[in-house]
């Protein structure tokens, strides 16, 4: 199975859930920029203070801040596959990480796009109830996804890396679809 992956998709599509399962079963390092940022917020670090208000509005944290986090994490990995969940979030982030991946001789092997209707995404997030899971913030996150993140679909299609997975159905059903496209 492929060892260096990106998970792409709208908020609430199940990126974190599926990434976690796959990383456990394949011994990949799960690098979720959302989780890494939330840890900084919980720790009350300067970085967390800078990110918190932006996250609570459902907007994107600055590229420079997120790139610094991702670069540190990737450089620290030794001979282990990885799965980037929630990064890149725009074309600028995708282009900015390329030189590091080339320097490390670790090209991306596949980009998994999880696809789901807005009505189901919204329902899942409202049920979860994270700090940024209220109706108006969710709608803003969906808008930010459409404007800034969705252009990555074309970007990775052009690089022949994109595989799409329907994300409706049970967690197990989606997990087996993900494995199927990565084999
Ligand atoms: P991030 O944490 O990445 O949030 P997101 O993309 O909005 O995605 P979610 O975590 O909401 O959803 P998910 O697709 O992971 O779904 P999940 O598995 O949790 O980012 C949060 C914020 O951080 C951003 O808004 C931004 O401010 C900042 N940020 C992060 N990365 C950034 C970057 N690169 N650049 C700039 N800013 C960045 O599932 C959702 C719910 O559904 C869960 O409760 C789950 O249990 C449930 N569920 C999952 N699968 C199923 C299923 N099959 N059936 C039923 N329920 C399911």
Q: Over the stretch 74-87, which tens digit does the pLDDT of each residue have? A: 999 988 999 999 99
Determine if the peptide bond prior to 33 is cis (ω within 30°): no
Instruction: Give the Å distance between the CA of 34 and the centre of ligand 1.
Output: 7
Rg for the chain, CA atoms, rounded: 16
Distance, CA of 97 to CA of 130 (rounded, Å): 28
Determine if the peptide bond prior to 88 is cis (ω within 30°): yes
Q: How confident is the model at residue 58 (pLDDT cuts 50, 70, 90)?
A: very high
Q: How many domains does the chain have?
A: 1
Is residue 152 helix, strand or coil?
A: helix
Ligand 1 atom closest to 171 (CA) = 53
Domain residues for the domain of 155 are 4-182
Q: Is the pTM of this model over 0.95?
A: yes
- CATH number for the domain spanning 28: value is 3.40.50.300
Is residue 5 helix, strand or coil?
A: strand
- What is the rounded average pLDDT for all residues in the chain? 97
| Residue 116 CB–ligand 1 contact under 6 Å | no
Query: Which candidate, 18, 28, 24, 26, places its Cα nearest to that of 174?
Result: 18
Average pLDDT for residues 123-130, to the nearest whole number? 97
Atom 1 of ligand 1, residue of closest alpha carbon: 34
Atom 34 of ligand 1, residue of closest alpha carbon: 87
Q: What is the pLDDT of residue 78?
A: 83
């Amino acid at each position: 199975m492929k060892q260096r992956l990106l998970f792409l998709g709208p908020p609430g599509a199940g990126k974190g859930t599926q990434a976690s399962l796959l990383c456990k079963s394949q011994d990949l390092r799960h690098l979720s920029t959302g989780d890494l940022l939330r840890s900084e917020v919980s720790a009350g670090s300067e970085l967390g203070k800078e990110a918190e208000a932006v996250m609570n509005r459902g907007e994107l944290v600055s590229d420079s801040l997120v790139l610094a986090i991702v670069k540190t994490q990737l450089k620290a990995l030794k001979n282990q596959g990885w799965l980037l969940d929630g990064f890149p979030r725009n074309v600028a982030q995708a282009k900015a990480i390329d030189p590091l991946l080339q320097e490390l001789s670790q090209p991306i092997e596949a980009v998994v796009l999880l696809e789901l209707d807005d009505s189901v995404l919204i329902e899942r997030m409202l049920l979860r109830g994270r700090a940024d899971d209220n109706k108006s913030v969710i709608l803003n996150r969906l808008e930010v996804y459409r404007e800034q993140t969705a252009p990555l679909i074309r970007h990775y299609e052009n690089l022949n890396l994109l595989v799409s997975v329907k994300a409706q159905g049970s967690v197990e059903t989606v997990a087996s679809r993900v494995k199927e496209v990565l084999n």
